[in-house]
Structure 1
C-alpha cells in the first residue's frame, strides 16, 4: 500500500496543466531540490508540433542572477504580457518544434530558493547543482529519456552552458541524449571581449577617435591583468574604468544601441510587467509559487559570482567542440554589452581541431527571401551567426528570424 501511495504521488507531480490564463498551452511547473536547503524552479512547455517525439530544449538567462522567465516572457516563450497583465500568444515561440524548458538557476535566482550558505561561488558549483537538477528531471519526466536534448541561453549563460555541458559529457549518463548547445550574445572570454567595447563603440560612432585611443590604453592593461591572473580588484579597476567612460558619457541602450534605455536595466518597464503577472494570486496558485517572491535579477546571486566575471569558458568549449556536439554561437549586431566583435575574436582564437579551417572560412550572407538578415560562417560542428537589426535579446528583436535559426539548428 505504501508503495502504491508513493507511485501515485510521483504521478501526480508530473501531471500536465492547461489553463485559459496560460492560453491553454500544455505546461508543467515545479521545484527540484539540489541540496537539502535549496531548489530550482522550472516550467516546461510541450511542443506545439510533436511533443512525443520533438527534442527537449533548455533555455537559461544570465546575469548572473537573472531569471530565465525573462526569456520566457520577453523573448522566446509561448506568451507576451499585455499591459493589463494578461497574456498574448507568441507565434514565434521556440516550442514550435521543441519541448521548451526554462529553469531559474543558480539557486536563489527568480523563484528558486537558496538556503543559508548555498549560494554558488563558481561554475564548478553551478554545474554540480544543475547536473543534480537534470538527473532528477529525467527521472521525473521519463518520456525525455533518450530524447535529443539541447541547451540554449544568452549573456552570462556563456559561462553557465559550457560548464554544465562539460559536466554532462563527463558523466556519460545514458538517459541524457545530449546533442548540442546554442549561446546568444554570450559572455565567454573577457580577454577578447573587454577590448571589443572600445572597438565596437568607435566603429558605431559612440565615441570619437581621441576617446577610442584613451580607452584602448586602459583595455590593453586590462588584457594583461586578465592574462596573468591578477587580483580581482585590479582587473575590475582597469577593465571597468574604460567601459564606464564609454557608457557613462553616453545615453545609449547597451543592449540595443538603436533603442532607448528605460530604467537602470534599460527594459525595466517590461520586467515590471512580468513581476506584476507573476504576483497575481491566480498565477501563483497555478505555478505553485504562493510562498515565493520573484525578482527579475537577484543581487546576492550576482555578488556571489561577481569575482568570476573575468573567467574564460573557452576551455570548456574546446572539449565540447572536440566531442562533436553541435555548437551555435549567435549575436545581434546592435548589442554593445556582449558585442559580436568580441565574440568574433575569441572564436578566431579558440584552439580546437578545426580552428585552422574556421579561421580561413569567409562569411556568407544569411538570406530571408531577397532580404539579407545577417552573416554566418560555419565549419564542421561550429556555426557563428550575426543577426542584423537585433540587440542582446535576438528573439525579442527579431523573433521570426530567431525561430527559424533555432529550428534549423535543431533539425540540422
Structure 2
C-alpha cells in the first residue's frame, strides 16, 4: 500500500462533502485535532471522512440511534469505501462509560455475530429483542461485514478480494481512519475478535494493524493501541481441524460418549496418518495446488461425518435486513440483497491458486505474541467443525518464546457463578479456554459465560 506524507496536523483530515452527504463541522467537541464521533449528527445522510495516509480509502458514517440497542446509547452505521469496493460496519457505544471503555471489533464474515450472538439485540421470530449479555456492556463495539460480497458490503462492478492478505489491507485502513479521525478514541485500548474462519483471517488483519503502526509512528500519528486478539472456535489449521474431529467423535472429548461406531473409528484412525503425510508434503512443505487439493479432499473425507450440520440461524435475519425501511434506516446502499454467506466469495478465496483456507495463520499468531499482543483462543466443547481439541493442539504447536511455559501448564477448571464452565490454561500472553455445553457459536448457547470470559480476559483478570 502506498502511504501519503502528512505535512501538517490539518492535512491529517479531509472531510469531504459528497452528493447526499453532509459536511462534518469542527466544533468544541473536536478532540486532539480530530473530530469527535458525536459531531456526526445526521440520521438521514452520510458524513464522509478521508485520510491523507490512505488516499484510496474513505469512510461514510451516519447516526442510527435506537437500532438494535434500545438502552439509549449512540449507534452508527456506515461504509469504508475503497475505490469501487464498499465495506459496511456497525458501531455501538458502550452501555457503561463510552468515554473511557475499550473498543472491541467483532468480525465473522457478515453480521451473524451481531444478531444471534453478542450484539445489543438478538433475532427473534417477530424481530429484534434486547440482549442483556451484549459485549457493549462495558466496551465500545464494532461489527464489520467483510470481505466484499457478504452482508451489506458490495463492489460497484462485482470485483472482490481473493485472499485474506488482500482483505487485511482494507480492514487495517478502516481501523486507522476511524481512530485517527475520531480523537476521543485515539490511543484507546483496542481488541480484535471473531470466530470460525476468523481463525484464518483475524491474525493477518491484526498483523497488518501492527505493521501499519510502524508507519504511523514515523509520520507522527498515534499508533493503534492493539491489546489483544480473541478467537472463538477458530479455523486456524486445516489439518488439525480434520484430525481433531476423529478424536472428538471416537472419544469422550465432547463430554459425551463416542458418537461413531467402533468400526467407523478404526477406519478413520487408520487413514489419519495418510492424511497427515499427504497434506504436509503437498500443502505445507511445498505448495502444489493440484496435489494439495487432492490431499484436502482425502482429509475432508477422513474427518467427515454423515449428516453433520452445524446450524442455520440466519434465514430470518437476512429477510429482516432486506426490508426496505431497515435498509434505509441503516444507510445500506448495496444494489443486491443482504447475504450472511456468499458462495461466490467462498469460491474466489478457495479456488486455485489461492486455496486460502489451506494456509495456516499460526505464524501470525506467534509473531503477535512476540510483540506483546495477548491472545485468547476459546471454543465450545460440542463443536465438531473447529473443535476445542483442534484449537488446543494449535496452541501447543505454536513456535514462540512462551511455548515451553504454555505447554507446561495443565488445564484447570474455570467457574461462572459458582459452576464449572470449562477448562483453561495460560502463559505469557496466550490463554486457552473451553466452554462446556457450547457449540460452534459459543455466545448462542452460553451468552453469559461468553461475556464473562471475554471481560475477564480483556481486563487481564483470572477466570
**Same fold, TM-score > 0.5, yes or no:** yes
In the alignment, which of 334, 337, 357 is matched to residue 309 of structure 1?
357
Matched, 1:33 2:81: yes
Deviates more, 1:329-338 or 1:103-112: 103-112
**2:323 is equivalent to residue 280 of structure 1:** yes
Matches of 1:154 and 1:41, distance apart in 2:
18
Q: CA deviation at 1:224?
A: 2.2
CA contact (8 A) 2:66 2:75 kept: no
Q: What SS does the corresponding residue of 1:378 show, helix, strand or coil?
A: strand
- Tell me the secondary structure at the aligned position of residue 23 of structure 2: helix
CA RMSD, aligned part only? 2.2
User: Which residue of structure 2 lines up, in the alignment, with residue 50 of structure 1?
Assistant: 97
Question: Given the superposition, is the C-alpha separation of residues 186 and 291 from structure 1 closer, same or farther in structure 2, using an over 3 Å criterion?
Answer: closer
C-alpha distance after superposition, 1:127-165 (max 9, x if no partner)? 112112222222443322111110000010011111011
| Structure-2-length-normalised TM-score | 0.79
Distance, in Å, in 1 between the alignment partners of 2:154 and 2:432 is 35
Aligned to 1:260: none
The answer to whether structure 1 residue 231 and structure 2 residue 272 are counterparts is: no
Cα distance in 2 between the residues matched to 1:343 and 1:108? 28
Name the residue aligned to 2:344. 300
- Work out whether 1:90 is the aligned partner of 2:131: yes
CA distance change for structure 1 residues 99 and 322 in 2, over 3 Å: closer, same or farther? same
Structure 2: distance between partners of 1:126 and 1:316: 15
C-alpha distance 299-4 of structure 1, shift in aligned 2 (>3 A)? closer
Match status 1:141 vs 2:182: yes
Partner of 2:58: none
Secondary structure of 1:373 counterpart: strand
Name whichever structure is richer in helix by fraction: 1
1:371 and 2:419 aligned: yes
Q: What are the superposed Cα offsets for residues 51-94 of structure 1, whole Å, 9 maximum, x if unpaired?
A: 11111100011xxxx41x1000010001112212x211000000
Q: Could you say which residue in structure 2 is the equivalent of 1:259? A: none
- The 2-side partners of 1:158 and 1:318 are apart by 13
Higher alpha-carbon deviation: 342-351 or 379-388: 342-351
Q: Distance in 2 between matches of 1:345 and 1:248?
A: 21
Contact preservation (8 Å) 2:154, 2:334: no
Match of 1:215 among 258, 268, 289: 268
Aligned length: 389
Q: Indicate the SS of the match to 2:106.
A: strand
User: 1:20, 1:119 → 2: CA distance?
Assistant: 29
Shift of 1:319: 0.4
- What secondary structure does 2:78 align onto? strand
8 Å CA contact 1:275, 1:295 repeated in 2: yes
What is aligned with 1:261? none
| Residue 367 of structure 2 is aligned to residue 319 of structure 1 | yes
C-alpha distance in 1 between matches for 2:346 and 2:103:
28
Aligned counterparts of 2:308 and 2:68: Cα–Cα separation in 1 = 36
Q: 2: distance between equivalents of 1:318 and 1:127?
A: 17
Report matched runs for 1:171-190 at 5 Å.
171-172=212-213, 173=216, 174-190=222-238
Bigger mean CA deviation after superposition, 302-311 or 283-292: 283-292
Please give the alpha-carbon distance, in whole angstroms, between the structure 1 residues aligned to 2:330 and 2:104.
Answer: 20
Task: Please name the residue that 1:9 is paired with.
Answer: 23
> Aligned-pair distance for 1:280?
2.0
Residues 1:405 and 2:453 are matched in the alignment: yes
In 2, distance between residues paired with 1:148 and 1:189? Answer: 29
Structure 2 unaligned blocks of 5 or more: 1-13, 25-38, 41-46, 48-60, 217-221, 253-257
CA contact (8 A) 1:333 1:388 kept: yes
Matches of 1:286 and 1:183, distance apart in 2 = 31
Whole-Å Cα distance in 2 between the matches of residues 90 and 189 of structure 1?
A: 32
Structure 1 residues 195 and 146: CA distance shift in structure 2, 3 A: same
Indicate how the Cα distance of structure 1 residues 5 and 407 shifts in structure 2: closer, same or farther if over 3 A, else same.
closer
Report which stretch shifted further, 213-222 or 354-363: 213-222
Aligned pair in 2 of structure 1 residues 175, 406: CA closer, same or farther (>3 Å)?
A: same
Structure-to-structure mapping, 1:251-290, within 5 angstroms? 251-253=307-309, 255=310, 266-267=311-312, 270-290=313-333
CA distance in 1: counterparts of 2:333 and 2:15, whole angstroms: 29
User: For the structure 1 residues 236 and 202, does the alpha-carbon distance in structure 2 shift closer, same or farther, using more than 3 Å as the test?
Assistant: farther
Q: Distance in 2 between matches of 1:335 and 1:323?
A: 31
Query: Highest Rg: 1 or 2?
Result: 2
State how far apart, in whole Å, the 2-side matches of 1:129 and 1:30 are.
15
Provide the rounded CA distance (Å) in 2 between the counterparts of 1:5 and 1:389.
50
Report the TM-score, using the length of structure 1 for normalisation: 0.88
Higher relative contact order (CA 8 A, sep 6+): 1
Determine helix, strand or coil for the equivalent of 1:81.
strand
**SS at 2:358's partner residue?**
coil
**Given the superposition, is the C-alpha separation of residues 358 and 114 from structure 1 closer, same or farther in structure 2, using an over 3 Å criterion?**
same
2:123 to 78, 81, 100: 81
Deviations 1:220-273 (A, max 9, x none): 233223322353444444444454466453x344x3xxxxxxxxxx31xx3111
